[in-house]
Structure 1
Amino acid sequence: MKLDIYQVDAFADNVFEGNPAAVVPLTDWLDDDTMLGIAAENNLSETAFFVPTDGGFHLRWFTPTVEVPLCGHATLATSFVIYRELGWDKDEITFETKSGPLVVKRRDDGFVMNFPTKPPTPCVIPDGLEEAFGVKLLEAHQNRFCLVVCENEEDVINSKPDHQALARIEPADFILTARSKKYDFVSRCFAPSHGIEEDPVTGSAHCVSAPFWAERLGKTSLNARQVSKRGGNIQCDVKGDRVDLFGRAQLYLKGQITI
């Protein structure tokens, strides 16, 4: 069997920026082990698979080790493929997912994804986390990720985490974040429980960090920067229990795989 495959840099103004995701269009679902095998072979943080429905698409996301319930950058990459490569001519796409319906709207310069917010609640800084990150941590908040706040953005940028130590700390997915001079906030994202040491740009993490910083800063429209090595910008507009995440994408590769 031959399948089309695309690799798209999401939350990127140019190739080699943002977060690369693989996108595999399907007409019918493959079995889960095959999709997980493709994701492992791709060795990217996420591979997205989608199947057409009556009004939109059913979308699923796999890391190299597990299926995940929500992925922002691979949703952005999938939207890019559906619009730019497959000729979708409607103003928006509705994806049916394990996180419920997700709507993506096209803008001339990119795409707006409407996701559920996941506001975190205060928690104790996990034992060993400050040593694992090697920087001073001020506070911690927990939801899908454990969000930990640094004194300044330089600590977020300069942290050289011990990834083996991070993987031993529960919960094992973390957002390192701080206020920023140029942006409203910066962050980095680490997801060892999903087989990802550091994710370059993470849409789902901003479902946690955007409502946190919206409340902290007293504003609902925020400019965010994920300061990984590749880096990427995300415009976040918090709207109650939903958040609009805006980003751009760039096509890097298209071809076929044989399974």
Structure 2
Amino acid sequence: MRLKLFQVDAFTDNVFGGNPAAVVPLEKWLADADLQKIAMENNLSETGFFVPEKEGGFHIRWFTPEVEVNLCGHATLATSHVIFNHLEWPGFELEFKSRSGLLKVRRESGLLKLNFPTDKPKEVEYNEKLADCFDKKPLAVLKGSADYLMIFDDEEYVRNVIPNLEAIKKLDAEGVIISAKGKSGADFVSRFFAPQLGIPEDPVTGSAHTVLVPYWAQITGKKQMIARQLSQRGGELFCADNDDRVELGGKAVTFLEGEINF
């Protein structure tokens, strides 16, 4: 079997920046075990697979090297980049069926804008297990549907902290987002750790911003914000809070085009 493979750096306009995702177009779904093996072989934080739907649009799924996940922003951005630029999709909007419902992506003003459901976090109690994850107590701890969110008072702490990944792995969550108010043009900054999904640190995480955007919109009173994820590769997102939906805008560049043979 021969399958097309693209590797795309998402949420950046420079190769070697942002978050790399593999994208595999399919005519029909393979067995789940094969999808997982391909993602494991790619060994990137996410591989996006998609098939055309008879009634229009696409069905999208995302796999880490270890598991299938419910939502992935950067692999959706990368997939949209492939459909628009390599498959020469003629329109300006895409629709994807997914585990997280209907997702839309619009091409506008040089950006790809993801329209995702909001995941409003709720405050939770700070406990011993959470305290083991970082060497400083956060200002607040919240939780979305899948991830913890810890708010700190200093951008530099978020940038430089070394997390206890073994402690994070033991939490009842898919991962931990840490965040602080931004400086130098960003409204807020973040990092994301998900060792329980096989991702020690994700370079730029669209799904985490479905939690971050409603939180910071409430704190800042802004509906439009610029976010930066402070991983080693780094990335920038142009965010909008639309109550029950969030919009995440970014750029993407193709690093690799190839073929899978198995």
Does TM, scored on the shorter chain, surpass 0.5?
yes
Would the aligned equivalents of 2:168 and 2:194 in 1 still touch at CA under 8 Å?
no
| Correspondence for 2:48 | 48
| Same amino acid, percent of matched pairs | 50
| Correspondence for 2:191 | 188
Structure 1 Cα separation of the partners of residues 126 and 222 of structure 2: 26
Mapping 1:193-208, distance limit 5 Å: 193-208=196-211
Structure 2, unaligned runs of 5 or more: none
Question: What is the number of equivalent residue pairs in this alignment?
Answer: 259
| Correspondence for 1:170 | 172
2:224 aligns with one of 216, 221, 224: 221
Would the aligned equivalents of 2:58 and 2:97 in 1 still touch at CA under 8 Å?
yes
User: Deviation digits for residues 137-181 of structure 1, max 9, x if unmatched?
Assistant: 111001121000111111100101121222123335100000012
Structure 2 Cα separation of the partners of residues 105 and 184 of structure 1: 23
Q: State whether structure 2 residue 256 is matched by structure 1 residue 253.
A: yes
User: Deviation digits for residues 52-95 of structure 1, max 9, x if unmatched?
Assistant: 11311111100111111110000000000000001000110001
Task: Give the counterpart letter for 1:222 in structure 2.
Answer: M
Task: Give the counterpart letter for 1:178 in structure 2.
Answer: A
| Correspondence for 2:133 | 132
In the superposition, the TM-score normalised over structure 2's length comes to 0.96
User: Deviation digits for residues 80-135 of structure 1, max 9, x if unmatched?
Assistant: 00000010001100011111111100124120010000010000123243443223
| Correspondence for 2:212 | 209
Structure 1 residue runs of 4 or more that deviate by more than 6 Å after TM superposition: none
Structure 1 Cα separation of the partners of residues 79 and 136 of structure 2: 36
Q: Which moved more, 1:199-208 or 1:215-224?
A: 215-224
| Correspondence for 2:73 | 72
Structure 2 Cα separation of the partners of residues 172 and 242 of structure 1: 21
Task: Give the counterpart letter for 2:155 in structure 1.
Answer: E
Look up the SS of the partner of 2:105 in the other structure: strand
Look up the SS of the partner of 1:132 in the other structure: coil
| Correspondence for 2:147 | 145
Mapping 1:77-116, distance limit 5 Å: 77-116=78-117
Structure 1 Cα separation of the partners of residues 9 and 226 of structure 2: 19
Look up the SS of the partner of 2:142 in the other structure: strand
Look up the SS of the partner of 2:88 in the other structure: coil
Structure 2 Cα separation of the partners of residues 121 and 49 of structure 1: 32
**Alpha-carbon RMSD:** 1.1
Look up the SS of the partner of 1:193 in the other structure: helix
| Correspondence for 2:24 | 24
Task: Give the counterpart letter for 1:4 in structure 2.
Answer: K
Structure 1 Cα separation of the partners of residues 127 and 197 of structure 2: 19
Structure 2 Cα separation of the partners of residues 158 and 136 of structure 1: 15
Structure 1, unaligned runs of 5 or more: none
Q: Which moved more, 1:36-45 or 1:172-181?
A: 172-181
